[in-house]
Amino acid sequence: MSWDCLIHNALVLTLEPGAAPLGDGYVAVRGGKIAAVGQAAHPAELPPARETLNARGGLILPGLVNTHAHAAMVWFRGLADDLPLQAWLTDVIFPAEAGWLNPDRVYEGTLLAAAEMIRGGTTTVADGYFYETEVRRALAQAGLRAVVAQGVVDFPAPGVPDPRDNLKVAAAFLESGGEAPPDRITSAIFCHSPYTCGEETLKRAKGLTRDRGVPYFIHVAETREEVAQIQRKTGLSPVAYLESLGVLDELTVAVHCVWLSTADEEILARRRVKVSHTPESNLKLAAGVAPIPQLLARGVTVGLGTDGAASNNDLDLFGEMSLAARLHKVWNRDPTLLPAAQVVALATREGARVLGLEERIGTLTPGKEADLIVVELNRPHLTPLYDPYSHLVYAAGAADVQHVMVGGRWLLHHRQLKTLNWAELAPRLKAGSRDLARFCQKLPGRA
């Protein structure tokens, strides 16, 4: 019995509940799955492997799970910052999406997002945007694991000029599968929000995803204005309104969840709705602080998300971990909240549960997919080392990620991208961004 790959001389965090870090640790991979996890001072004691990687004292942990992104929005990174949310959306983002974006640009933007995510240790991403067949194609090429969700709104959108076709497009997307490997990429639906989708759209989209047992994503209670708007229209909070439509269940991923009443928190817990926490986006857009400690105390499953790079401005889950850990401490004036080990769990095991993938990823457990990362520890800012969870949350960054594997395949090896050709991609992105800048100069109020 031999292994395909053995990674040894590491400190291993399996992220299995209650498991201690394994010094002199190794992870063995066979057939794209984790074959064994253990401790051995000398790899010669272990069965032979086709490929051996000496981690040189680095940290092996499950790949990070981004539970909410709009990957192709990397095109808009740094294009318009420091604006009020509505001006940002209506003066810049919506016109640029309507007039500039096309399938090729979504594809190329998603490749750029994939390169960034792989470099930062993300192995699974949940994306929600338009032209999602292109997103699926790009993520399949990059080798990432993904839940790719077609965006639905009740107004004209990129690729859906007539909103009456929005669910037809989404249903066709769920059916098609495209070139995506079904074991690695799940197709789903992303209803933008309770204020951009009407009742019928929200309910029918839920029907489509429920029939197929796939996630249903929706931005919920992001801002106070949204809560006031839904209250005026329905007499209910956004969460209570969605509950009244019957769209809240264990396959619903509620993104943001900043402005929740205790009754809303109770509904989310009772319906076993999953929550994607997006602290950087919430801070940058001045949306507010989500009651994450309160949701966790109620047993709600919470994962971390970057949101799009227009409102973050990166796709770096190390940044989200650092911010999530610190934010809830200062907001609640309690430094014991969201301790480092819990935050690392949100970015891995709990993120997998948010996406319904907990049987397959999220912990380093034999039989699960070999989705893992190696973080270099032999660096000044990570020395000395007493607690690896502390370093991951409070001291390490995306640049410390040295190797990334998904399903037994290297996506990053000694910091080299293995599935994407950056030298070939970068000039295309530069040309595209110049074109977008020219387009935006012509927008009203931007000249």
Q: Which parts of this chain interact with Zn ion (CB under 5 A)?
A: 307
Of 307 and 314, CB closest to Zn ion: 307
In the bound state with Zn ion, the residue whose beta carbon lies nearer, of 253 and 337, is: 253
Backbone angles phi, psi at 370, to 5 degrees: -85, 75
Smallest gap from Cβ 255 to Zn ion, in A, equals: 6
Locate tokens 């960034």: which residue?
Answer: 116
CA distance 12 to 27: 8
Where are the extended beta strands (E) located within 31-81? Answer: 33-39, 49-62, 64-69
- Give 71 or 214: the residue with its C-beta nearer to Zn ion: 71
Residue 45 is encoded by which pair of tokens? 């004691």
Give min distance, CB of 305 to Zn ion, in A: 7
**Distance, CA of 82 to chain centre:** 24
Q: How far is the CB of 82 from Zn ion (least distance, A)?
A: 19
- Residue 55 or residue 149: which is nearer to Zn ion going by CB? 149
Residue with tokens 């059916």: 175
Compute the CA torsion angle 232, 289, 309, 176 (nearest 10 deg): -60
CA angle, 177 as apex, 171 and 183 as ends, to 5°?
A: 125
- Shortest-Cβ-distance residue relative to Zn ion: 307
CB of 190 to Zn ion, least distance (A): 8
CA gap 330, 78 in Å, rounded: 27
Smallest CA-to-CA distance from 28 within 59, 5, 46 is with 5
The tokens of 18 are what? Answer: 């209650």
If the CB atoms of residues 7 and 310 are measured against Zn ion, the closer one turns out to be 310
Nearest in space to 166 (alpha carbons), one of 112, 119, 130: 130
Instruction: Please say which residue, 307 or 371, places its beta carbon nearer to Zn ion.
Output: 307
Pick between residue 264 and residue 307 the one whose CB is nearest to Zn ion: 307
Residue among 177, 226, 171 at smallest CA distance from 197: 226
Task: Compute the distance between CA of residue 312 and CA of residue 278 in angstroms, rounded to an integer.
Answer: 9
